[in-house]
A and B are shown apart, each in its own frame.
Chain A
C-alpha cells in the first residue's frame, strides 16, 4: 500500500519541473548563444566600422543638400507643368531613396523588413491608382460626369 502511494505520488510529481527549469530561464535571450556579442548582428560596432559609416552619412548629407538646391533650381526654370512635376518628383524620389537606403540602412536589412515594405508598396500603389482611375474612367463610371467641369479658381474658393 505504502509502496503504491509513493509510486502514485511520484508519478504525479510535476513533470513540468523537469521540462521547464527555473521560470526565468525560458525568458533569457542567452538561450540563443549566437547573438552574444553584437547588440544587433547587422551592425559592427568597431571604431573603424562606425567611423566609415559616419563618413558615409556625411557624404549622403552633402548629396541631399545639393539635390535640395537642384529641386529649388528646377522650379525657377518654369518648365512646362508635366515636365516640372516629373523632374521634381524624380529628384525627390532619389533623395528619399538615399535617406531610406543609408540613414534607415535599408541597403542591409533583414528579409522580414523587406517583406513588410514590399506589402506597403503594393497598398500604396493601390492608393495612388485610385485618383488615376478616377481621372481617366470617371466619365464611364458616372455618365455625364465631367472631371474638367469648370470650377472657380482655387484662389477664390473651389472647396465646397
Chain B
C-alpha cells in the first residue's frame, strides 16, 4: 500500500490532492478502513496518557494519611449534571452517524450541532466549577487533592474542547463533504464519535474517583 501511495504521489507530480487510500472501504489485511485503525491507535495512546495520571492519583492518594472526600470539597450536583450532558452527547453523536448512514444529512447535522452544544454546555459548567474554586483560593498548587483534580479535569476539558473544534469543522464542511464524498464524511463522523465516546468514558471514571469517593 505504501508503495502504491508513493507511486500515486509521483504520478500526480504533487499537482493534485493525493488521495488517502482506504478512507471508505476496509483494507483487506486490517479489515477496517484506515481512519478507524488510526483512531484506535490514537485512543490506545490516550489510555496511556490518562492512565499515567490515574496511576499518579492512586499513588498520591494511597500514600497520603489523609485524603479528603471529593464530595466535601467539590460541587457534586454540577458534576452529576455534566455527567448527564456528556452521556447525552455520546448518544447525539452516534445518532448523527446513524442518520448520515441513512442518507439524512439534515438530521445528521442536527445531531452534530446538538453534540457540539452539549460539549459547550459541559465546558460552561466546568468553567463555573473552576471559577468558584479559584474564587475560594483553591489552585492546582494548593495541595495534592486539588493538583490531581485540576490536572485530570483540565486535561479532560481540553479533550472536550478538541472534540468541539472537530465537530464545528465537520458541521461547517458537512454540505460540501456529503455532496462529494458521502461515505468518507460518514466515516469521519464515526471516527470522531469514537474519540468522543472515549472522552465520555474517561469522565465516567473521573466523576466517581474525584467527586464521590
Binding site for B on A (CB under 8 A): 23-24, 26-27, 29, 32, 34-35, 39-43, 45, 47, 50, 53-54, 57-58, 60-61, 64-65, 68, 71-72, 74-75, 81, 84-85, 88-89, 91-92, 95-96, 99-100, 103-104, 110-113, 116-117, 119-120, 123-124, 127-128, 130-132, 134-135, 147-151, 153-159
Is B4 located at the chain interface by the 8 A CB criterion?
Answer: yes
| Partner-binding segment picked from B88-96, B116-124, B160-168, B169-177 | B88-96
Question: Could you tell me the distance in whole angstroms from the C-beta of B70 to the nearest C-beta in chain A?
Answer: 9
Chain A interface helix/strand/loop/mixed? helix
Report whether A24 and B11 are in contact in the complex, using a CB–CB cutoff of 8 Å: yes
Interface residues on B, range: 35 or more
Secondary structure at chain B's binding surface: helix, strand, loop or mixed? helix
Enumerate chain B interface residues (CB-CB to A < 8 A): 4-5, 7-8, 10-11, 19, 21-22, 24-26, 28, 30-33, 36-37, 40-41, 44, 47-48, 51-52, 54-56, 58-59, 62-68, 71, 73, 76, 80, 83-84, 87-88, 90-91, 94-95, 98, 101-102, 141-145, 147, 183, 186-187, 190, 193-194, 197-198, 200-201, 204-205, 207-209, 211-213
Q: Is the CB of A26 within 8 A of B40?
A: no
The residue of chain B having its C-beta at the shortest distance from the C-beta of A30 within the complex is B25
